[in-house]
Amino acid sequence: MQVKDIMTTNVISIGADEPVVKAARLMLQNRISGLPVIDKEGELIGMVTEGDFLRRGELGTQRRRPKWLEFVIGPGKLAEEYVHTSGRKVEEVMTPDPWTIREDESLEAVVETMERRHIKRLPVTRGGRMIGIVSRANLMHALASLARDLPAPAGGDSAIRANILAAIAKQEWAPHINVIVKDGVAELHGVVTDDRERQGLVVAAENVPGVKKVHDRLVWVEPISGMAFPSSEDETKRAAP
């Protein structure tokens, strides 16, 4: 999937010379946390987000520092902060020159940029013009659209078992275990030396098409003491009258 497959195209934006209050109202009315900022020529020049309204003079939340620290910071930085906390126009509080992405980029590129730049949304541009926006919510919608039952492979339980073993074998951290599949229900048998591997193996099996349910029959052996601990599923089963 590419950016163009999941992006929002009907983007709500705001002009750079619009009042800050209007930006806040737009975000509240449309239940969004950020707005692209457009200049008079329609070019993208910034982003204004909820974070830009946290430190505001009207709220009394502007930064207050000791005099000695203000001296170290310098008047330029202090003036910049004053504009951001007291400015009345969007262009005075926005983040200029926002990071953007092309419509033909992969979703992996979107996630990498969001993580690296610590941002929640990316304007999508074509030839310098904004044509959409992709956000974390768009990624969640894409995930939800893919979360459907996949058809079981031809070959029934034996094919499902082979696919589970192949999926586990691809993981370098995964130990060798045995898998039994009956009517699409998989049982995992074997030993793990780190209890975190247990959940990883269960997830690997759950992601194989045709798997209806996974039963954890794995035993965790603590490496130092050698003590063995059954799965919580097995413990519950043994405790049942």
C-beta separation of 198 from 204 below 8 A? no
DSSP string, 189-215: EEEESSHHHHHHHHHHHHTSTT--EEE
Stretch 23-39: mean pLDDT: 91
The DSSP 8-state label assigned to residue 87 in this structure reads -
Give the CATH number, domain containing residue 41. Answer: 3.10.580.10
Tell me, yes or no, whether 142 and 165 share the same domain.
Answer: no
Q: Band of the pLDDT at 111, cuts 50, 70, 90?
A: very high
Please write the tens of the pLDDT for every residue from 172-194: 999 999 999 999 999 999 999 99
Tell me, yes or no, whether 211 and 182 share the same domain.
Answer: yes
Which tokens sit at 100? 């953007």
Within a domain: residue 57? yes
Q: What percent of the chain has pLDDT over 90?
A: 54
Q: What percent of the chain has pLDDT over 70?
A: 97
The whole-angstrom distance between residue 87's C-alpha and the CA centroid of its chain comes to 32
Residue 35's pLDDT is: 93
Q: Band of the pLDDT at 154, cuts 50, 70, 90?
A: confident
The whole-angstrom distance between residue 32's C-alpha and the CA centroid of its chain comes to 16
Tell me, yes or no, whether 191 and 131 share the same domain.
Answer: no
Is the pLDDT at 241 greater than 90? The verdict is no
Within a domain: residue 73? yes
Residue 110's pLDDT is: 94
C-beta separation of 159 from 150 below 8 A? no
Tell me, yes or no, whether 17 and 99 share the same domain.
Answer: yes
Give residue 206's domain range: 156-239
Within a domain: residue 50? yes
Residue 144's pLDDT is: 73
126, 146, 166 - which closes a domain: 146
C-beta separation of 159 from 136 below 8 A? no
Mean pLDDT of the chain: 88
118, 146, 174 - which closes a domain: 146
Looking at the 3D structure of the chain, how many domains does it have?
A: 2
Stretch 128-135: mean pLDDT: 90
Residue 147's pLDDT is: 55
Stretch 134-162: mean pLDDT: 82
CA distances from 6 to 18, 67, 121 (A): 29, 49, 13
Tell me, yes or no, whether 108 and 86 share the same domain.
Answer: yes
Residue 150's pLDDT is: 63
Residue 174's pLDDT is: 93
Strand residue runs (E) in the chain: 14-15, 34-38, 44-49, 95-96, 101-102, 121-126, 129-135, 178-182, 185-192, 213-221, 228-229
116, 146, 176 - which closes a domain: 146
Tell me, yes or no, whether 109 and 182 share the same domain.
Answer: no
Which tokens sit at 24? 């806040």
Q: Band of the pLDDT at 145, cuts 50, 70, 90?
A: confident
Within a domain: residue 151? no
Quick check: pTM over 0.75? no
Tell me, yes or no, whether 114 and 189 share the same domain.
Answer: no
Give the CATH number, domain containing residue 210. Answer: 3.30.1340.30
Minimum mean pLDDT among 42-56, 177-191, 226-240: which range?
226-240
Q: Band of the pLDDT at 149, cuts 50, 70, 90?
A: low
